[in-house]
A = this chain, B = another copy of it.
């Protein structure tokens, strides 16, 4: 049977994760990888989680080993509502404002399915989070791609595009603006309070929805916490995505959608067809952990660890790249990534062949382009390699840049 002939319109729009392909090379023992966005497993509270896992399977098996509800564990909902109040001063949320998803990726998939089809538009930034691009592309959506600046999306550019669509009578086709508000993946930038407010105004003016994705918000290494767009615009206008992947354990695959009750009901419907329910064992594990331990306190050593590694990488970049004209990097105030941009003409995708030879791995910026295009930038993750490997890696990266740049007469 010819499989390709049978594939649907959606199936033809799926592609394999390029990051996965890239990371295969990083398995080599001598390799240094700035590629993956995965947390350091030593930061996971394994002893506490192991004991709780035993207890909840033994004593709460009626719940943990059985089918559960599509919405997910009510005990965990209560814990998250408390956490959001502590972190962001969010109030007024109850259980019906929340639904759990299989990591944030499922939230992106379900929101894509609920809102987007071949006649709709959504707004993405450039560069954009790869998982969002992949999720939304499946549903044949059209994109308004807006350049990302140091304080968030270029709102003048966005308004110009929206006005064009409004003038053509097509503004109703635009469904939502997708934003990673804190420590953007891949670009590291944080949307400023002013831009958050202005973004809500644009959304109100054109009656658009905002999807705010905030996986890294708790991992701030400097500066002050900024109000979520969700708090500024309210649940009628903004839906907030959160996850335990970066602050407790990605293996639990717990994402959460926080929003207006009518929207949450729709996400529940979509999740029902997608997987009926998530494993109750993972929800209850997180719920009992949050009941017994103070997550934000527990997170402090993790924040210290990443703050140090980030500093090591920023200092190494200063040492090895400040003498190369046209090289820039974003000093992300939190999260896991530094976005390094090389001078015009560099193509970090093509340069990857050079990096392979030096056994230093990064994620080429091309991966984060909504449409497949060359990029002079790359995403560097500092969270996994030990300090000395970070320095050695940046040194190797300099050699790669110099070798490629010289050969291509770019520097």
Contacts and interface: CB of A to CB of B under 8 A. Distances in A.
Contact of A14 (B47, B55, B134, B270): B270
A9 to B, nearest CB: 4
Nearest to A278: B253
A251 B270 contact: no
Interface string A244-284: 01000111110000001011011011101111111111100
A157 interface: no
A116 interface: yes
Interface stretch (A100-108, A147-155, A177-185, A359-367): A100-108
A116 B253 contact: no
Contacts of A20: 70, 272
A295 interface: no
B275 A8 contact: no
B251 A209 contact: no
A-side interface size class = 35 or more
Specify how many copies of this chain sit in the oligomer: 2
Contacts of A49: 57, 61, 65
A64 B50 CA distance: 11
Contacts of A269: 14-16
Nearest to A275: B102
Interface stretch (A38-46, A310-318, A400-408): A38-46
A295 to B, nearest CB: 15
Given A252-B65, A282-B279, A8 B116 contact: yes
A270 B277 CA distance: 18
Given A3-B262, A50-B55, 14 more contacts: A9-B117, A14-B272, A20-B272, A39-B66, A49-B65, A50-B61, A53-B57, A65-B249, A66-B251, A67-B245, A68-B251, A102-B274, A253-B276, A282-B282
